[in-house]
Structure 1
Amino acid sequence: MDLKVEHEMHKRRFSRNAGLGFVLVGLVVLVFGITIVKVRMIGNVPEAYNAAAGLPTAEAGE
């Protein structure tokens, strides 16, 4: 005798929770990807743009 019968409501709730979990994981991956791209772009910005933005330049560190 099976005492743990799963109701249809539980199956629907699980599928909604799984879908929401995939959406949240997708958003985290998207934000992480955008962050990585922005960090890499900062390293490729010419020194003139860094100086105009108030960021430290290679000359300031010497």
Structure 2
Amino acid sequence: MKPDSHEVYGRKRSRNRGLGLVLGAFVLIVFAVTVVKLSEGADMRSPDNFGQLPPGSH
């Protein structure tokens, strides 16, 4: 092997670890937001009544 190929592999490994950490952090943030929304009892269903007024509001 050439001596400079070790440096290239080291850079790739370092970049892959950094990307893995960023991806892992993103997954944790999405999970945390989901847990918080579910614990607050937020209505997570999609609204299927666009354009309709609630009963008694007209």
Q: TM-score, normalization: structure 2?
A: 0.67
Of Structure 1 and Structure 2, which has the larger fraction of its residues in helix?
Answer: 1
Looking at structure 1, the residues matched to 20 and 5 of structure 2 have their Cα atoms a distance apart, in angstroms, of: 22
CA shift for structure 1 position 8: 1.2
Specify every segment of 5 or more residues in structure 1 that has no aligned partner in the other structure, as ranges.
Answer: 1-5, 57-62
Q: What's 1:25 paired with?
A: 20
Match of 2:31 among 31, 36, 47: 36
Distance 1:44 1:13 in 2: 46
Task: Letter of the 1:28 partner, please give it.
Answer: L
Deviation, 1:44, is 1.6
- The number of aligned residues is 45
Aligned sequence identity (%): 7
2: CA distance, partners of 1:8 / 1:30? 34
Unmatched runs of 5 consecutive residues or more in structure 2: 46-58
Instruction: Give the distance between the partners of 1:38 and 1:30, measured in 2 at CA.
Output: 12
